[in-house]
Amino acid sequence: MGRITTYRDLGCLVTGASSGIGADIARLLAREGARLVLTARREDRLRELADECTELGAIAAWPIVADLDEPGAPEHVATMAENHLGHVDVLINNAGFAVPGLFASTDLERTLSMIRVNVMASVELAHRLLPGMVRRKTGGILNVASMASFQAAPYQSAYAGTKAFLLNWSDGLHQEYKHTGVAITALCPGVTDTEFFDAAGYPKAAGILKWRAECLPVAELGVRALARGRMEAVPGVLNKVLLFIQRLMPRTLVADVSRRLMGGRPTPVRRPR
């Protein structure tokens, strides 16, 4: 099974590093003395974080501004990361967003963009960077999936579809590569306190938002689970209990409960760039 004994001096590429879980993962890797490439669209955030990471202990931290929705962007990011790091030991596939709402009322282009960022960019980065890890018999990939990976999620159905893909794909890769020394882990956060909900435009009063978990422990679990070579990591006792219970329930019932929890009709507040 792939294990990472230390992140010290490892070359790590973190997508979606400009806020939330990705930014906290970058800080944790920095504290362990990794070399970092941080990517997202917001340049000011990336530059500030790169400076902070260097202060925290990263050997170096390079920001790469890229919109993973654009054609050629994942290839560009992979190439730039290898140029800076020599090779990429650890890939954190974290960039992602949701398009909530009644499916047919959502913006089609935005939904397709979500599939390109959440799914296609993650697949392309892994496909480009995994062979090097396998050759070197070390390193790993952390795919940030979701609790929404495990069941239908009405009013964010396509988003849950992208996360179901990430979980199943990641679990499959874990099994394919577990004897190569490369760790492949899916992190499945529940509702977490980041910019995610504002970016997507979930209504502030939405019931599920009351249970937001702190971001840092989620990031810590991801970094630790990857180092230990775990296949999946679910943060929080409540999420683990919910998962256990829902596995005993019919899928139809789980989907119906999920619809009641989601409720409301979201309106985006942060426009896509």
Ligand X SMILES: NC(=O)c1ccc[n+]([C@@H]2O[C@H](COP(=O)([O-])OP(=O)(O)OC[C@H]3O[C@@H](n4cnc5c(N)ncnc54)[C@H](OP(=O)(O)O)[C@@H]3O)[C@@H](O)[C@H]2O)c1
Active site residues: 159
Count the Cβ atoms, other than its own, within 10 Å of residue 103. 14
Would residue 269 be called left, alpha or beta, if left means φ above 0 and alpha means ψ between -120 and 50 degrees?
A: alpha
Task: Please give the C-alpha separations between residue 205 and each of 211, 225, 260, in angstroms, as whole numbers.
Answer: 12, 33, 14
Strand, helix or coil at 230? coil
Member of 16, 63, 101, 222 binding ligand X (CB under 6 A): 16
Task: Please give the C-alpha separations between residue 268 and each of 71, 138, 197, in angstroms, as whole numbers.
Answer: 25, 41, 9
Member of 2, 7, 11, 18 binding ligand X (CB under 6 A): 18
Member of 13, 37, 40, 223 binding ligand X (CB under 6 A): 40
Is residue 236 involved in binding ligand X (CB under 6 A)?
no
Is residue 151 involved in binding ligand X (CB under 6 A)?
no
Point out which span in 52-60, 191-199, 225-233, 256-264 binds ligand X (CB under 6 A): 191-199
Q: SS3 helix, strand, coil % of the chain, rounded to 5?
A: 50, 15, 35
- Read off the amino acid at residue 112: L
Member of 12, 50, 90, 95 binding ligand X (CB under 6 A): 95
Q: Convert residues 69-88 into a mask of x (bound to ligand X by CB under 6 A) and - (unbound).
A: x-------------------
- The first and second tokens of residue 59, run together, are 């050997």
Residue ranges of E strands in 153-207: 183-187
Is residue 48 involved in binding ligand X (CB under 6 A)?
no
Q: Convert residues 193-232 into a mask of x (bound to ligand X by CB under 6 A) and - (unbound).
A: -xxx--x---------------------------------
Q: Convert residues 109-148 into a mask of x (bound to ligand X by CB under 6 A) and - (unbound).
A: --------x--------------------------x-x--
Whichever of 4 and 114 has its CB closer to ligand X, that residue is 114
Q: How far is the CB of 190 from ligand X (least distance, A)?
A: 6
Q: How far is the CB of 193 from ligand X (least distance, A)?
A: 7
Question: What's the order of all strands across the beta sheet hosting 232-233?
Answer: 60-65, 35-40, 11-15, 90-93, 140-144, 183-187, 232-233
Name the residue among 208, 215, 232, 218 with its Cα closest to residue 155.
208
Strand, helix or coil at 40? strand
Whichever of 58 and 121 has its CB closer to ligand X, that residue is 121
Point out which span in 20-28, 78-86, 101-109, 244-252 binds ligand X (CB under 6 A): 20-28
Binding interface with ligand X (CB under 6 A) = 16-22, 40-42, 67-69, 94-97, 117, 144, 146, 189, 191-192, 194-196, 199
